[in-house]
């Protein structure tokens, strides 16, 4: 705030001094020039009269010649003063408007109001740096889930649309560079409600800078960053990011999984995939030859992952000056049938169009389809606005960078344990992954799998927490149904984090400790039931022992009396 006033005062210095001087000179003139009163007796204007007259003259209000009609000399002086005061007023008002129009001043006003609203936040929020397609999807998801976001983006663009958003929770936003430490501080990196920073800039260098600055400012904050190349990914990870999401790597690894280990692919899709459509089946293209068009970030990632699982690959790259192409690369435009034929499209099982241009990608796949009707077609969709065309093209698989990143980040935000879980799962053998996938299908029914974290602490599971002080509780007891303890809740525990230790699929007779964090998977009803048993003493008592405790004081007395009677009888 003080910044603003100082800026304003400094800019208005010269108009104010001009105004004071012009007023002083005019007033002195009126006081000194001899005048007459109504009876032509001499009258000298007092300073008050002069100030009064100059004030309404300068502001062009003009009440007339007060207190008495002016003499000719006074009118000459008035002519001079009239123009001088009006011009100095115009100068002053003009400079004032100028200051308000000044971009630096307006940015300062925005920063101030942003700073104030951030400091007033009293609920957990995520700081999102970069508001492009990905950012918008993520903010929408977060708002629907009731999580507040604070957004920073230096560029004109989608961020302007936030002015008229209709989100359930209106995010706070500022058009400013997030790699500036001061801006990050204003945006609340050290705020006690800040749950994490999500860096989504298009440029890897910017993401890296944000990661470094964020790490230096606040070591404890959770950092999720996006990276488009493998080098930046490991670089950002080395600066203490909790999760780095590389859309190309993610997609390519999923593709390789779909071919190599379908069950693992399904587990990934269910936990971090899209919430619009549940994927249950995977078509797996037969092993054989794959054609990759374009050897950019996407093409390279696809090449590496498919090569790892032993597919035969052929790359088509239009740029003949590139050096890092694998051997056997066909140089030429992939949109032409001749090039595709040269790459062996006739015997290929799949084709990946991974250039940076959407029309090119579509054209490649259309041409490929004309030559080989059975080919499996995968496209990289660069821009969100092209979605309808890609849908109409009826491709087998489309990689949408924005969705991929926002879905994954959203999943990681809702259930932070997921990151650790997936890291361990990715090393599962095929058979083990199959068992896990079928167990997950078993509990989630026909809905989307509901994933949530169950933390044993005083705040979220008060009944369970206080029970642990008296007796031991086993994992399987938590999964008993609160209405009928012989039934079990449709949920499984995927993962347990106790201190620094990780336990995959904790077994039934493991003892629950205080501070345990479980990653649960099940359906919505199961989530609700587990909340009941862990929060309500009566239900917990029933689930653990099978005894129903009375709620009211009268019933408690009656039961106690009955027990006494029975004890006496025996």
| Minimum distance of another protein from residue 7's CB (angstroms) | 8
Q: CA–CA separation, 362 vs 365, rounded Å?
A: 5
| Contact window for another protein (CB under 8 A) among 9-17, 223-231, 472-480, 553-561 | 9-17
- Asked if 449 contacts 437 with a C-beta cutoff of 8 angstroms, the reply is no
From the CB of 52, what's the least distance to another protein, in Å?
10
Nearest to 102 by CA among 1, 15, 4, 14: 4
> In this chain, which stretch among 20-28, 243-251, 253-261, 269-277 interacts with another protein, using CB under 8 A?
20-28
100 near another protein, judged by CB under 8 A = no
Is the Cβ of residue 41 or residue 276 nearer to another protein in the bound state? 41
Considering beta carbons, is residue 2 or 220 the nearer one to another protein? Answer: 2
From the list 15-23, 99-107, 190-198, 411-419, the region that binds another protein by CB under 8 A is 15-23
Q: Between 23 and 421, name the residue whose CB sits nearer to another protein.
A: 23
Alpha helices in 227-334 (DSSP H): 230-238, 247-260, 262-272, 297-308
Of 12, 191, 203, the C-alpha closest to 119 is: 191
Q: Are 158 and 135 in contact (CB under 8 A)?
A: yes
Rg (C-alpha) for the chain, rounded Å, is 36
Q: What is the smallest separation between the CB atom of 99 and another protein, expressed in angstroms?
A: 12
- How many residues touch another protein (CB under 8 A)? 20
Show contacts with another protein in window 180-239 (CB under 8 A): none
Pairing of strands 289-293, 348-353: parallel
Measured distance CA(305)–CA(126) in Å, rounded: 33
Q: Which of residues 27-86 bind another protein (CB under 8 A)?
A: 27-28, 31, 43, 46-48
For another protein, which is the closer residue by CB, 22 or 162? 22
Are 70 and 40 a contacting pair, CB within 8 Å?
no
The terminus-to-terminus CA distance of the chain in angstroms comes to 81
Give the β-pairing of 222-226 and 243-245: parallel
The residue among 27 and 540 lying less far from another protein, judged by its C-beta, is 27
Nearer to another protein, 2 or 321 (CB): 2
Residue 393 and residue 376 in contact, taking contact as beta carbons nearer than 8 Å: no
Which one of the spans 10-18, 69-77, 169-177, 487-495 is the region binding another protein (CB under 8 A)?
Answer: 10-18
Query: Using CB under 8 A, which of 9, 93, 435, 511 touches another protein?
Result: 9
Q: Per CB under 8 A, which region of 25-33, 252-260, 430-438, 471-479 contacts another protein?
A: 25-33
Closer to another protein at the Cβ: 47 or 561? 47
Is 17 an interacting residue with respect to another protein (CB under 8 A)? yes
Q: From the CB of 16, what's the least distance to another protein, in Å?
A: 5
User: Does residue 16 belong to the site contacting another protein (CB under 8 A)?
Assistant: yes
- At CA 336, angle to CA 360 and CA 338, rounded to 5? 155
Which of these ranges, 5-13, 228-236, 238-246, 409-417, lies near another protein under the rule CB under 8 A?
A: 5-13
What's the closest the beta carbon of residue 186 comes to another protein, in angstroms? Answer: 18
Q: Both tokens of residue 387?
A: 């979605």
What are 82's two structure tokens? 């009239």
If phi over 0 gives left and psi between -120 and 50 gives alpha, with beta otherwise, what is residue 546? left
Are 440 and 267 within 8 A, CB to CB? yes
* Min CB(130)–another protein separation in Å: 33
The residue count for the chain = 570
H or E element at residue 380? strand 376-381
Closer of 27 and 544 to another protein (Cβ): 27
Contact set with another protein (CB under 8 A): 2, 6-7, 9-13, 16-17, 20-21, 24, 27-28, 31, 43, 46-48
């Amino acid at each position: 705030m003080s910044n603003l006033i100082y800026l304003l005062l400094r800019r208005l210095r010269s108009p104010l001094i001009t105004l004071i001087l012009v007023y002083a000179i005019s007033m002195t003139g009126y006081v000194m020039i001899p005048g007459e009163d109504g009876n032509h007796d001499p009258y000298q204007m007092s300073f008050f009269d002069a100030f009064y007259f100059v004030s309404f003259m300068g502001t062009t209000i003009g009440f007339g010649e007060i207190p008495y009609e002016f003499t000719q000399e006074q009118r000459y002086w008035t002519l001079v003063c009239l123009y001088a005061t009006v011009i100095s007023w115009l100068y002053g008002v003009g400079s004032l408007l100028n200051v308000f129009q000044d971009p630096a001043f307006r940015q300062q006003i925005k920063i101030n109001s942003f700073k104030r609203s951030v400091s007033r936040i009293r609920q957990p929020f995520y700081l999102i740096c970069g508001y492009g397609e990905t950012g918008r999807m993520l903010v929408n998801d977060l708002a629907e889930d009731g999580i507040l976001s604070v957004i920073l983006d230096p560029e004109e663009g989608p961020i302007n649309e936030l002015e008229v958003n209709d989100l359930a929770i209106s995010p706070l936003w500022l058009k400013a560079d997030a790699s500036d430490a001061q801006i990050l501080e204003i945006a609340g990196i050290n705020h006690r409600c800040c749950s994490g920073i999500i860096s989504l800039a298009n440029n890897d260098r910017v993401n890296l800078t944000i990661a470094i600055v964020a790490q230096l400012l606040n070591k404890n904050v959770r950092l999720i960053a996006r990276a488009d190349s493998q080098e930046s990914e490991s670089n950002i990870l080395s600066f203490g990011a909790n999760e780095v999401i590389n859309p190309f790597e993610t997609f390519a690894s999923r593709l390789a999984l779909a071919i190599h280990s379908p069950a693992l692919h399904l587990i990934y899709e269910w936990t971090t995939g899209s919430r619009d459509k549940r994927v249950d089946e995977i078509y797996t293209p037969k092993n054989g030859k794959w054609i990759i068009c374009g050897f950019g970030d996407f093409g390279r990632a696809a090449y590496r992952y498919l090569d790892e699982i032993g597919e035969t690959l052929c790359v088509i790259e239009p740029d003949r000056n590139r050096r890092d192409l694998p051997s056997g690369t066909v140089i030429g435009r992939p949109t032409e049938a001749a090039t595709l034929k040269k790459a062996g499209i006739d015997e290929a099982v799949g084709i990946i169009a991974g250039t940076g241009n959407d029309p090119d990608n579509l054209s490649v796949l259309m041409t490929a389809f004309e030559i080989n009707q059975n080919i499996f077609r995968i496209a990289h969709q660069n821009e969100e606005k092209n979605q309808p065309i890609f849908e109409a093209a009826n491709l087998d698989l489309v990689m949408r960078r924005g969705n991929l990143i926002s879905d994954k980040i959203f999943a990681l935000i809702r259930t932070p344990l997921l990151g650790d879980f997936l890291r361990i799962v990715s090393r599962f053998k095929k058979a083990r992954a199959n068992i896990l996938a079928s167990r997950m299908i078993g509990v989630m029914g026909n809905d989307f799998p509901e994933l949530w974290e169950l933390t044993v602490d005083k705040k979220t599971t008060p009944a369970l927490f206080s029970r642990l002080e008296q007796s031991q509780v086993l994992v399987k007891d938590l999964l008993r149904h609160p209405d009928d303890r012989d039934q079990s809740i449709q949920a499984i525990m995927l993962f347990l984090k106790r201190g620094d230790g990780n336990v995959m699929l904790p077994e039934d007779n493991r003892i629950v400790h205080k501070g345990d964090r479980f990653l649960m998977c099940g359906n919505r009803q199961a989530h609700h039931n587990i909340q009941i048993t862990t929060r309500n003493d009566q239900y917990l008592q029933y689930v653990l022992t099978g005894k129903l405790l009375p709620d009211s004081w009268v019933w408690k007395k009656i039961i106690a009396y009955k027990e006494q009677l029975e004890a006496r009888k025996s």
